[in-house]
Structure 1
Amino acid sequence: MNNQKRVQILERLRANNPHPETELHWSNPFELLIAVLLSAQATDVSVNKATARLYPVANTPEAMLALGVEGVKEYIKTIGLFNSKAENVIKTCRILVEKHGGEIPENREALEALPGVGRKTANVVLNTAFGWPTIAVDTHIFRVSNRTKFAMGKNVDEVEQKLLKVVPKEFKVDVHHWLILHGRYTCVARKPRCGSCMIEDLCEFKDKVYPAE
């Protein structure tokens, strides 16, 4: 795919959604970090249901620590992998309190040192909470980038590096949200909704799917 076509795609996605946001519910960087940590192999909907009960009780590292592992489990047991996630939440909160004064560090290395936080989670926090031009590549973004030929790669790291290279600066802060939403609702995994896709004519996917007349 050439750069002219990429810019056209990004302009359409921006026109449709000028101020995209994550579908995870959060009101401070700590809430965002915990929500993203909980969202691994889980839906945003399931995470939001759990945090709607959890955050009124504990939305700071100190309050979360007071709950303890078992206390956190009670609020997140409807989410997959809740046992290990509860342990990571408490370990993370302890480090935040002891090393960062209870604040979320605006620093990739410090974020990735937190239990359960990898590059993707750090990218989401840096982008969404702090406005960094980072691009977190999940399964949706990986699929959309490869399927459309927008930014092809064999793994998430390759796609991330390609996106960082080909996406113009003016789109970098928002492209993560546009692509994830496009993959979640239009360019879905099993049967992409090509007939209702706003970038269908620019997409280079060869096996497009259209509803029967």
Structure 2
Amino acid sequence: MNQKKRIDILSRLRNENPHPTTELNFSSPFELLVAVTLSAQATDVSVNKATDKLFPVANTPEAIYALGVDGLKEYIKTIGLYNAKAENVIKACKILIEQHNSIVPENREALEALPGVGRKTANVVLNTAFGWPTIAVDTHIFRVSNRTGLAPGKNVLEVENKLLKVVPAEFKVDVHHWLILHGRYTCVARKPRCGSCIIEDLCEFKEKTEH
């Protein structure tokens, strides 16, 4: 795909949604960190249902740590892998309290040192909470990048590096959200909705559908 086509695709996505953000509910970097940690292999909807009950009760490292693993599980047991996630969140709270004055660090290495936080979660927090031009590649972004030809790659890190290389600076902060939403609602996994896609004529996917 040539760069002009990439810019046209990103311009259309921006025109349709000038100020995109995550569909996870949060009101602080810490709430976002917890929500993203809980969202691994789970839907944003299921995470929001749990955190809408959890955060009014506990939304600081101290408050969640005080719940303990079993107390936290009561709030998140409707989410997949909740046992492991509860343990990771409690451990992360302990580290935030002891090493970071209960403040979420604006630093990739420090974030990735937290239990349950990998590169993708760190990218989401840096981008959404702190406005960094990072691009977290999940299954939606991986699919859209490869299917459209925007930034093909064999694995998520290849796609991330390609996007960082080819996406112009003016689009970098928001491209993560545009591609996730596009993959979630239009360029869906089994049968993409090409007929209602605003970038269909620019997309290089060969097996387009009519719907």
Partner residue, 1:98: 98
TM-score relative to the length of structure 2:
1.00
- Counterpart CA distance in 2 for 1:116 and 1:210 is 41
Letter in 2 for 1:115: P
Letter in 2 for 1:38: L
Partner residue, 2:194: 194
Does structure 1 residue 109 correspond to structure 2 residue 109? Answer: yes
- Counterpart CA distance in 2 for 1:3 and 1:120 is 25
How far residue 125 of structure 1 moved from its aligned partner, in angstroms, is 0.1
Partner residue, 1:9: 9
Report Cα offsets for 1:77-136 as digits up to 9, x if no partner: 000000000000000000000000000000000000000000000000000000000000
Does structure 1 residue 177 correspond to structure 2 residue 177? Answer: yes
Partner residue, 2:165: 165
Letter in 1 for 2:98: E
Report Cα offsets for 1:121-159 as digits up to 9, x if no partner: 000000000000000000000000000010000000000
- Counterpart CA distance in 2 for 1:5 and 1:151 is 12
- Counterpart CA distance in 2 for 1:45 and 1:52 is 10
Letter in 2 for 1:116: G
How far residue 204 of structure 1 moved from its aligned partner, in angstroms, is 0.1
Partner residue, 2:86: 86
- Counterpart CA distance in 2 for 1:10 and 1:154 is 22
Letter in 1 for 2:6: R
TM-score relative to the length of structure 1:
0.99
How far residue 173 of structure 1 moved from its aligned partner, in angstroms, is 0.1
Letter in 2 for 1:71: G
How far residue 54 of structure 1 moved from its aligned partner, in angstroms, is 0.3
Partner residue, 2:31: 31
State the superposition RMSD in angstroms.
Answer: 0.3
The percentage of counterpart residues that share the same residue type is 81
- Secondary structure at 2:79's aligned position in 1? coil
Q: Across the two proteins, how many residue pairs are aligned to each other? A: 211
- Secondary structure at 1:176's aligned position in 2? helix
Report Cα offsets for 1:40-83 as digits up to 9, x if no partner: 00000000000000001100000001100000000000000000
- Counterpart CA distance in 2 for 1:163 and 1:137 is 9
- Counterpart CA distance in 1 for 2:113 and 2:150 is 31
- Counterpart CA distance in 1 for 2:160 and 2:93 is 28
- Counterpart CA distance in 1 for 2:65 and 2:84 is 15
How far residue 162 of structure 1 moved from its aligned partner, in angstroms, is 0.1
How far residue 18 of structure 1 moved from its aligned partner, in angstroms, is 0.3
Report Cα offsets for 1:158-183 as digits up to 9, x if no partner: 00000000000000000000000000
Runs of 4+ more than 6 Å apart: none
Letter in 2 for 1:152: P
How far residue 13 of structure 1 moved from its aligned partner, in angstroms, is 0.3
How far residue 31 of structure 1 moved from its aligned partner, in angstroms, is 0.2
- Secondary structure at 2:115's aligned position in 1? coil
- Counterpart CA distance in 1 for 2:18 and 2:155 is 29
Letter in 2 for 1:159: V
- Counterpart CA distance in 2 for 1:202 and 1:53 is 43
